[in-house]
Amino acid sequence: MRELRRNMRFVGTLVVVMFVGLAAWFAMTVFTQGSVWASDVRNSRLKTGASLRGDITDRDGNLLATTAEDGTRQYNGNTAARRALSQTVGDTAGMSGTGIETFYSATLLDISTSLVDRLSELFNGAHHTGGSIQISVDGPLQAYIAGQFPEGYHGAVCVINYKTGEILAMVSMPNYDPYDLAVRTGTQVEDTAYLNRCLQGLYTPGSIFKIVTLASALTNDANVAGQSFSCSGEWTYEGGHIVCAGGTAHGAVDLKSAFKKSCNVTFGKLAYQLGLERLRETAERFGFNENFKFGDFMVYNSAFPTEVANMNGLVWAGIGQGEVLVTPLHMAMISGAIANGGMMMKPRLIERVTSSLGAATAAGTPEAFRTVVTPQVAGTIAEYMYETVQNGTATRAAIKGYTVGGKTGSAEVSDNKEVETNAWFTGFVYDEAHPYAISVVIEGGGAGARMPSELAAKSLKKAIEYVG
């Protein structure tokens, strides 16, 4: 009998411990994931009409989304602007999972409004209206960039303030019209139009990754800047073979010349010298293989190989090919960190959140992510990037009267070269009043990077004009 009571006490204690553990797990999950659940389009409360969604405005207060008196959701009246902002603003159907409409549904509907506020609205005879959100994006700038994007091509353009982390433009092509979803016109939406390529597009970076390889070399070898390299246009090593674009032989080059000419042989040799561990360490310092957790939005993780089967994998990774993948937003962050003396800022999209009663409940503030390289290394890379725009592969990105640094890239996306390469540009305006970084990717844009360099120059010039 005594043994039975002891067993019963043990079982009872175990049940209580399990119950407490389950309760703690549930509380923690609600705390960490509650806003995500509330924002899920499958949440029936989002569709009941009990609350009216608050407004979404751009950085200058231009209205991007609002709710009419009859409860219908209305978007910017300009069709081109509305489409350009589609993946950023989103839609009430939740087709763009990264859009403000979806990601911040709980805020726009003010699901967590206090009882006191609800009673106040009840006595005033008012409908409950959710919070309003002001984002850092400049609507006219985003519409302009989308209008300048090469016709018939897919891709992305990201513009950020590298001092504050504010996202000024986040263009993803193709785009769509949220009204097509609202009124169910039957209009065909192009495949992948709901995808925000700035945040969700994982691309092979190609030669723009040489910024990271250069950073690793300068960090790990104090003498590498004075080293001379020989390029015959190709290089054969154990397990592989690499060539420069068009088989161009660059001859004897120093590191700066190799960078501005985008010499594959030199940067393949740098990767060979560094070894996987040191190159991976630098890449991860820049944010590769990291689960980015930014409160304003979700962004896919950029990747760098943690192991390679042979030397071939390492050499190709050093020039941004093989298993290396990056999002356009991350690439803009990398260029911004170089211009910012090695400090990478956390990107942010939300400028201000205001309750239905007009009280500010949240405001975006600059926040550092981490120091990715020393100021000295950042200064050297910035100098090389400036030289690349002045006399290298990115001359079309120059803006008269401003110091622009950049790097071009042509990323191969097929083994048999039947698919045209993706064309890249990433860079910055080195200016205290206009600290803007940019990345541009044009799918199938081809070698030479003419289109992304020209688009980058137009976009940065317009950012200087519009954002100030």
For 163-196, b where at least 16 C-beta lie within 10 A, e where not — what string? bbbbbbbbbbbbbbbbbbbeeeeeeeeeeebbbb
What is the model's pLDDT at position 4? Answer: 57
Contacting residues for 277 by C-beta, under 8 A, at least 6 apart: none
What is the model's pLDDT at position 309? Answer: 84
Question: Which of the listed ranges 188-192, 244-248, 400-404 does the model predict with the highest average pLDDT?
Answer: 400-404
Would the pLDDT of 147 be above 60? Answer: yes
Mean pLDDT score, 16-30: 53
Mean pLDDT score, 107-132: 63
Contacting residues for 333 by C-beta, under 8 A, at least 6 apart: 160, 162, 287, 344, 345, 347, 369, 437
Contacting residues for 324 by C-beta, under 8 A, at least 6 apart: 204, 205, 209, 283, 288, 303, 304, 305, 317
Contacting residues for 117 by C-beta, under 8 A, at least 6 apart: 355, 356, 357
Q: Residue 136: pLDDT band by 50, 70, 90 thresholds? A: very high
Tokens 């960190």 correspond to 337
C-alpha 242: how far from chain center:
30
Would the pLDDT of 24 be above 90? Answer: no
For 232, the token pair is 């015959």
pTM across the whole model: 0.88
Q: Which residues share a beta bridge with 325? A: 303
| Residue at 341: amino acid letter | G
Would the pLDDT of 117 be above 70? Answer: no
CA atoms of 237 and 242, how far apart (whole Å): 8
Would the pLDDT of 148 be above 90? Answer: yes
Would the pLDDT of 23 be above 90? Answer: no
CA atoms of 205 and 421, how far apart (whole Å): 11
Which domains does the chain show, CATH number per domain?
206-346+365-466 (3.40.710.10)
Q: Residue 37: pLDDT band by 50, 70, 90 thresholds? A: very low
Residues 310-339: pLDDT tens digits? Answer: 899 999 999 999 999 999 999 999 999 999
Residues 412-437: pLDDT tens digits? Answer: 887 777 788 999 999 999 999 999 99
140 preceded by a cis bond (ω within 30 of 0): no
Q: Residue 36: pLDDT band by 50, 70, 90 thresholds? A: very low
CA atoms of 453 and 456, how far apart (whole Å): 5
What is the model's pLDDT at position 303? Answer: 98
Mean pLDDT score, 7-35: 54
From residue 32, alpha-carbon distances to 37, 42, 74, 219, 346 in Å are 10, 19, 31, 37, 20
Mean pLDDT score, 130-150: 97
Q: What percentage of the chain exceeds 70 in pLDDT?
A: 84
Tokens 């009998």 correspond to 1
For 420, the token pair is 């045209």
Give the lowest-confidence range in 155-169, 177-191, 388-402, 436-450. Answer: 177-191
Give the lowest-confidence range in 13-22, 73-82, 150-159, 220-229. Answer: 13-22
Contacting residues for 306 by C-beta, under 8 A, at least 6 apart: 280, 289
Give the lowest-confidence range in 78-92, 101-115, 316-330. Answer: 101-115
Do 171 and 198 contact (CB within 8 A), yes or no? yes
Alpha helices, DSSP H only, in 275-304? 276-285
| Residue at 437: amino acid letter | A
271 or 2: which leads in pLDDT? 271
What is the model's pLDDT at position 32? Answer: 41
Q: Longest Cα pair distance anywhere in the chain, in angstroms? A: 93
Mean pLDDT score, 219-227: 94
What is the model's pLDDT at position 346? Answer: 97
Would the pLDDT of 296 be above 50? Answer: yes
| Phi–psi pair at 23, nearest 5 degrees | -65, -40
Would the pLDDT of 150 be above 80? Answer: yes
Q: What percentage of the chain exceeds 90 in pLDDT?
A: 70
Mean pLDDT score, 186-205: 87
For 188, the token pair is 């065909």
Q: Which DSSP state fits 233?
A: S
Q: Residue 371: pLDDT band by 50, 70, 90 thresholds? A: very high
Cα 458-464-465 angle, rounded to 5 deg: 90
CA atoms of 405 and 431, how far apart (whole Å): 11
Give the lowest-confidence range in 179-188, 262-271, 285-294. Answer: 179-188
From residue 102, alpha-carbon distances to 96, 213, 343 in Å are 7, 37, 31
Q: Residue 355: pLDDT band by 50, 70, 90 thresholds? A: confident
What is the model's pLDDT at position 120? Answer: 53
For 447, the token pair is 């070698």
213: nearest Cα among 198, 197, 229, 234: 229
Would the pLDDT of 48 be above 60? Answer: no
What is the model's pLDDT at position 22? Answer: 57
Would the pLDDT of 42 be above 50? Answer: no
From residue 417, alpha-carbon distances to 350, 400, 421 in Å are 41, 37, 8
Give the lowest-confidence range in 34-38, 109-113, 141-145, 457-461. Answer: 34-38
From residue 424, alpha-carbon distances to 256, 264, 369, 455 in Å are 20, 16, 24, 10
